Structure 1
Amino acid sequence: MIKQLQPARYQKMILVVFTVVILITMVLALSVGSSSVSYDRLIPTLLGQGTFVDEFVLFSIRLPRMLVTLLAGMALALSGCVLQGVTRNELADPGIIGINAGAGLGVTVFFLFAPLEVGTFVYILPIVAFLGALITAIFIYLFSYNRVEGMQPMKFIITGVGFSLALSGVMIVLISSVDRVKVDFISRWLAGNVWGTDWPFVIALLPWLIILTPFILYKCRSLNLLALNEGTAIGAGVPIQKDRILLMLAAVALAASAVSVTGGIAFIGLMAPHIARALVGPRHQLFVPVAILIGGWLLLVADTIGRNLSDPDGLPAGIVVALIGAPYFLYLLLKK
C-alpha cells in the first residue's frame, strides 16, 4: 500500500514545485523589459494601490500576455500527451505532425478574407483554427491508416510532417498577393510570435482548457491501454475507435485554440510529456498533470526570453522554443 502511494505523493511534490517555479517566473517576467513593475511595487499594484503606470503595465500589458502564453503552453502540452498516447509514438507533437499548420491555414484564410478586422472575431478564431486543424487531422489519419494493421504510428508522423510542409507552402502562396500589413501579421504568426496579448484572448482560450482537461484526465486509463497495443485495450473493454476519435478531437481542439492566439509554435507538445514521463513515470494519470504545468512554464520562459532578447519587437517565442526543441526532436528521432 505504501509503495502504491509513493508515486502519487512524488507527483504531488513535483506539481507543487512547478507551480512555485511558474509563479517565480511570472514575478521575474514582470520586472524585465521596457515596460516593467519593480518588485517592491508588485504587491501594492496587485492590491489596487499602485500608480496608474504600474497598474496599466501590470493589468493591460504584462499579465494578459503571461496568462495567454501559460494557457497556450498548457494546451499544447496536453495535446502532445494525447497524441503520443493515441498514436503510440513519442515523437508526436501538434506542431510537427501538421495540426498547427492546419490551424494556421484556417486562421490565414480567415484573416485574409474576413470582411472585418480579426480583433472583432477574437472568440471565433479558435473555432476557425479548430476546423482547419480538424480537416488536416482527418486527412493525416486517413493517409496513415491501414485496414490490416490499423493506424501506423511512424507513417502518421511522416505523413504529418509532409502535410505541415505542404500547408505552410499554401500559406506562403496565399500571402504573396496581399498587402504588406497582412503579410507582416501572417509571417509573424508563422514564426510563433505571441500576438493575442489582451484579456479577450485569455477568455477565448480558457473554456477549451476548462472543458477538455477534465475529460482527458478522466480518459487517462484509456490512454494507458491505447499506448500499449490494440489487443490489450480491447481485452480491457476499451471502445478503441470511439475513445481514439474523441481523444484526437480533444487534442486537435487544444492545439488549435492555442496556436490561434500564439502563432505556429511547435515542440512544446513534444518536450513537456517527455520531461514529465522522466520525472514521474509512464502512467498517464501521473505524468499528464505534470506535463501540463511544464508546457505552460516552457512557453512562458520562451516568450520572456524572446521579448527581451532583441529590440524593438523581440524574438518570437516559437523561434526560442525551436532552438531547444529541434535538436531534442532529432535526438529522439535517432534514438527511435
Structure 2
Amino acid sequence: MKKNYSLAFLLLLVVFIISLSLGQRMITLPDWLSLIIGKASRSLTLTFWNFRLPRSLVALLSGAGLALSGYLLQGVTRNELADASFLGINSGAGLFVMLYLGLFAQGSPFLLPVIAVVGGLISAILVYFIAFASRVNGLSMNKLLLSGIAVNAGMGALTLLLTIKIAKESYQFVMSWLAGSIWGVTWEHAVILFVWISFLGVLGWWRQPILRLLSLGRENALSLGVAVDREQTYLLAIAAMLASVSVAFSGNLAFLGLLAPHIAKALSRNFSYSMTALCGGIIVLLADTLGRMLLTNGEVPAGILIAIIGAPYFLVILLRRNF
C-alpha cells in the first residue's frame, strides 16, 4: 500500500516535470539549470513562470477535483458508473460558464468558479429531485443516474443552442474550452482553484466515515444512526461543487471522474480518497502534455484525449454489469 503511494507520488512528480518541459518552447536540462540559478533568459523565464507552471498546476488541481467528485458520487450512489459528466453537473457548470465567458469575456476570474458552482448545483438539484420524486423507500440510485443522463442531454442541447449567439471573437475560445482545453490560465486562476479544491477536498475527506457507512446500504446505515437522505444530499453537493469548480478552469473533462477512482482502486486494492486525487492529476497532466505535442500548429484538447480512453472503458464496465 505505502509502496503504491510512493510510486504514485514519484510518477506525479515525473509527469509534472515533463509537463513543464514539453511544448512549442522545449525546456532542456541546461534551461532547467539556468532557471534554478536565476540566470535564465527573459523569454525562458516568461514561458516557465507565466505560462507553463500555472497551466500545469491548473491541470493537476482540476484533475484532482474531478477525480474526487467521481469518488464521492460513486460512493454515494454505490454505482461504479457514476460521474459528474453523466449526472449533468459538468454540463450545467459549462452552460453557465459559457454564458459568462460569452457575455463578459473580460469578467473577473473570482466570479468564474462561483458561476460554475451555481450551474452545477442547479443541474444536481434537478437530477436529485427528479429521482427523489419517484423514490420508493428512499432515494433510488439507478433513477438518480437515469435522471442525470436526461438533464445532461438537456443542458448539452442548451449549450449548443447558445453557442450560435456567441460573438465570433469569443466562439473559438468557448468551443475550445468546452472540449476541455486548459489554455490561457494564469497564476490568478491557479490560486483561486487551489483554494476551492483544498477547501472542498477537506470537506469530502472529513465525511469519509459517513461515506463508508453509506456504502453498507440504506437499511444498515439507518440502523447505525446515519441520517441517510441528509448525508447523501451533503455529499452530492460537495461532489457537484468539486466538479463545477474544476470545469470552470479546465473545461468539460468527461470520464475523468469515472477513470480515476477505478485506477486508484486497482492500485490501492480499495477506494482511496488520496490515491484517487493523485490519479486524476496525473491523467489530466498527461493528456494536456500529449495534446500539446500531437500537432505542430495548435493542440488537441485534453478532454478529447481523456474521452478516447474513457468512452471504451465505460462501455466495458456497462457490458459487464447485470441490469
TM-score, scaled relative to structure 2: 0.94
1:152, CA displacement in angstroms?
Answer: 1.8
Report the more deviating stretch, 187-196 or 203-212.
Answer: 187-196
Is 1:321 the counterpart of 2:306? The answer is yes
Deviation at 1:43, TM superposition (A): 4.0
Pick from 160, 167, 180 the counterpart of residue 155 of structure 2.
Answer: 167
The aligned counterpart of 1:54 is 44
Match of 2:93 in 1: 103
Q: Is 1:103–1:131's contact at 8 Å kept on the other side of the alignment?
A: yes
Say whether residues 1:262 and 2:244 are aligned partners: no
Q: How many residues of Structure 1 are paired with residues of Structure 2 in the alignment?
A: 320
User: Which residue identity lines up with residue 186 of structure 2 in the other structure?
Assistant: D
Q: Is the 1:84–1:91 contact (alpha carbons within 8 Å) kept by the matching residues of 2?
A: yes
Q: Secondary structure at the match of 2:60?
A: helix
Please list the CA deviations of residues 215-235 of structure 1 after superposition, one character each: whole Å capped at 9, or x if unmatched. Answer: 211211111121221111112
What CA distance in whole angstroms lies between the structure 1 residues aligned with 2:3 and 2:138?
39
Q: Are the counterparts in 2 of residues 69 and 299 from structure 1 also a CA contact under 8 Å?
A: yes
Root-mean-square deviation (Å)? 1.5
Identity %: 35
Give the structure 1 partner of residue 208 of structure 2. Answer: 220
Paired residue for 1:122, among 104, 109, 116?
109
Distance 1:170 1:270, change over 3 A: same
Q: Which residue among 211, 215, 229 is the counterpart of 2:199?
A: 211
CA contact under 8 A between 2:20 and 2:56: conserved in structure 1? no
Deviation (angstroms), 1:241: 2.3
Structure 1 stretches of 5 or more lacking a match?
A: 1-9
Local SS of the residue matching 2:284 = helix
Aligned to 1:79, which of 66, 69, 74? Answer: 69
Q: Does the 8 Å contact 1:92/1:157 carry over to 2?
A: yes
In 1: Cα distance, 2:75 partner to 2:233 partner: 13
SS at match of 2:14: helix
1:198 and 2:186 correspond: yes
Q: Give me the whole-angstrom Cα distance separating, in 2, the residues matched to 1:196 and 1:61.
A: 8
Query: Is the Cα contact below 8 Å between 2:92 and 2:122 reproduced in 1?
Result: yes
SS of structure 2 residue aligned to 1:189: helix
Separation (CA, whole Å) in 1 of partners of 2:227 and 2:37: 51
The 8 Å contact of residues 54 and 185 in structure 2, kept in 1 or not, is answered as yes
| Residue in 1 that maps onto 2:176 | 188
Question: Which of 271, 277, 282 lines up with 1:292 in the alignment?
Answer: 277
1:233 and 1:281, CA in 2 relative to 1: closer, same or farther beyond 3 A? farther
Aligned to 1:68: 58
2:7 aligned partner: 17
| Post-superposition offset of 1:170 | 0.6
State the 4+ residue runs in structure 1 displaced beyond 3 angstroms: none
Q: Match for 1:131 among 94, 113, 118? A: 118
Q: What is the TM-score normalised by the length of structure 1?
A: 0.91
- How far 1:60 moved relative to its partner? 1.1
Between stretches 322-331 and 232-241, larger displacement belongs to: 232-241
| Counterpart AA for 1:329 | F
Cross-structure match for 2:266: 278
Q: Give the partner amino acid of 1:132.
A: G
Give a deviation string over 1:113-147, Cα, whole Å, max 9, x none: 34xx33x3101100000000001000111112234
Which runs of no fewer than 5 residues in structure 2 stay unpaired? none
- Paired amino acid for 1:224: R
Show the counterpart of 2:241.
253
Report if aligned partners of 1:25, 1:301 keep a CA contact under 8 Å in 2.
yes
